[in-house]
Structure 1
Amino acid sequence: MTVQQTAFDAAERRMWGGRADAYAGSFARLCAHTVPHLLDAAAVGAGTRVLDVGTGTGAVAAAACERGARVTAIDAEPGMVALARRAAPAAEVHTAVLPSLPFADGAFDAAVANFVLNHVGRPRDALAELRRVVRPGGRIGLTIWCAPGAPGQELLGRAMEAAGAVRPAHLAPLAAEDDFPRTPDGLTGLLDAAGLRGPTSSTLAWDHRAAPDEWWSGPAAGVASIGQLLVSQPAPVRAEARRHYDLLCREYLGDDGRLVLPHRALLATARR
């Protein structure tokens, strides 16, 4: 299917373009936490033909290969594709963008999307496309950040708010008609609306540990919406945001000087 790009999609391409290495050095470890849960939910094992959508640095693809699956992975950002090819040399990795995938109907036994649905302008269309490329009875598994988030998810945003950061015009929000509640019921409702059978959703909770400078490095390089918010500010506001960040970090410091950041995400699965 061919779907016109939304303003939200255009903003996503801008915020991720050329930032694969910065993501790998900051937020990638956080997102990798859910990988085994996601693969279990999608019943990915030896011989499974699995599509990893939005592979990023290739953590899901690499883990699926280790299980003996036959892995195809895609990402919209060429830099991510390069990293994923190194991380998962046994996988076929391509540049492609939801919701227009270059695969035949029913080509896969399963499709997985780790923190991808929050980066597409039309989530229902994206799910419908995943449904199309999975065989009848095949599984779709996905994760997405829930709202409200856990305290660790709010640290960077609190620093920006305290500094008086103003959201830039190029950070287009998701259109109201395409949005959905980031709750278990909201996510299963979206899966159901996309024509998927038996959707279920549960909450994953964990503490992510990172050095303060590591956690700041992603936003400082413009990674994700929080990074675009930061780098679009005048220099004094950026400096003030860092000052507030350093102060707020004290709430999360462990005995080893690393941040202990509580996070929550939704894990959902359904069948075609």
Structure 2
Amino acid sequence: MTDFDAHERERWTGRAAAYERSFGRLCAYPAEALLDAAGVRAGQRMIDVGTGPGTVAALALARGADVVAVDAEPSMLTLARRTAPGATVVEAVLPRLPFPAGGADAVVANFVLNHVGNPAAALAELCRVVRPGGRVAVTIWPYPQPPLQRLWGEIFTAAGGETSADLPRVAPERNFARTEEGLAGLLAAAGLADVQCATLAWEHRADAEDWWAGPANGIGMLGLLMERQPVAVRERIRQQYDLLSARYRDADGLLVLPTAALLASGRVD
């Protein structure tokens, strides 16, 4: 486990409810497309790695698949049992999964490679547990960032927040470009065939208080940055959040935030 992995485990501990309220619906958007890319259908055995609150697992169950839902965070698994009661729920941490080689027809990982310190090793493990001819499908957030993600940076800058140089990061030699070409290259390097990668773009609609609740409750890197700010700066961040997010409000008062994700898939030979 890398230092980045240790940071991720600490960052997500006990935060499933805050995630479900804030970022959970955002991350749910590509779920059906992810399952399509993995070719998930009735009768297949699918492993949902990094299941979170179980959104993807529940949709796979609705397709008639036999689903195993995996996550490293126990509080997420509690939600997954509620959301996807027909799934087998397993606690495990990439890059080690407690499954035999070639036992699954498909593996999906929705916004998981963003959260591991060795993406290539994690992807290799996803491939290991899929039978020849089966498929692996993953999503990540792109870089350069779309407007939704850039908004938080604008807010921190306007509030005079400190963005520490010592933030946990994936080691450069283990990282990859968060672009269509970079993600496709990662899958190809893992030995996957028929690799495809596309950008999914959509507008995320969210209640402003729910969207604020993610970083305010310590979710992800934004949450870590928020925790490191003095009280006065956190108050200014909230003021700038209200000010700068106002341009994205619709007539009903909801935020309408343009965003995008990368979806890639490939076949195990």
Match of 1:91 in 2: 87
Deviations, residues 60-96 of structure 1 (Å, cap 9, x unaligned): 0000000000000100000001100110010001110
Deviations, residues 35-76 of structure 1 (Å, cap 9, x unaligned): 000001101010110000000000000000000000001000
Contact between 1:101 and 1:129, CA under 8 Å: does it hold in 2? yes
Greater Cα offset, 31-40 or 249-258: 249-258
Matches within 5 A, 1:192-203: 192-203=188-199
Counterpart of 1:134 (choices 130, 134, 137) is 130
Counterpart of 2:17 (choices 18, 21, 29) is 21
Matches within 5 A, 1:100-111: 100-111=96-107
- Residue 257 of structure 1, CA deviation: 0.8
- Say yes or no: does 1:213 pair with 2:209: yes
- Residue 271 of structure 1, CA deviation: 0.9
Match of 1:175 in 2: 171
Match of 2:148 in 1: 152
Match of 2:231 in 1: 235
Match of 1:118 in 2: 114
Match of 1:34 in 2: 30
Gaps of 5+ in 1: none
State the distance in 2 between where 1:159 and 1:242 align.
8
- Residue 128 of structure 1, CA deviation: 0.5
State the distance in 1 between where 2:113 and 2:7 align.
15
Deviations, residues 241-266 of structure 1 (Å, cap 9, x unaligned): 11111110111111111100001100
Deviations, residues 115-144 of structure 1 (Å, cap 9, x unaligned): 001000000000100110000111000111
Normalization by structure 2: what TM-score?
Answer: 0.97
State the distance in 1 between where 2:111 and 2:245 align.
25
Structure 1 residue runs of 4 or more that deviate by more than 6 Å after TM superposition? none
Match of 2:258 in 1: 262
User: How many aligned residue pairs are there?
Assistant: 268
- Residue 157 of structure 1, CA deviation: 2.1
- Say yes or no: does 1:186 pair with 2:192: no
Question: SS where residue 239 of structure 1 aligns?
Answer: helix
Match of 2:48 in 1: 52
- Residue 167 of structure 1, CA deviation: 3.3
Counterpart of 2:200 (choices 190, 193, 204) is 204
Normalization by structure 1: what TM-score?
Answer: 0.96
State the distance in 2 between where 1:260 and 1:92 align.
35
Question: SS where residue 93 of structure 1 aligns?
Answer: strand
Gaps of 5+ in 2: none
Question: SS where residue 83 of structure 1 aligns?
Answer: helix
State the distance in 2 between where 1:255 and 1:80 align.
34
The amino acid across from 1:194 in the alignment is A
- Say yes or no: does 1:143 pair with 2:136: no
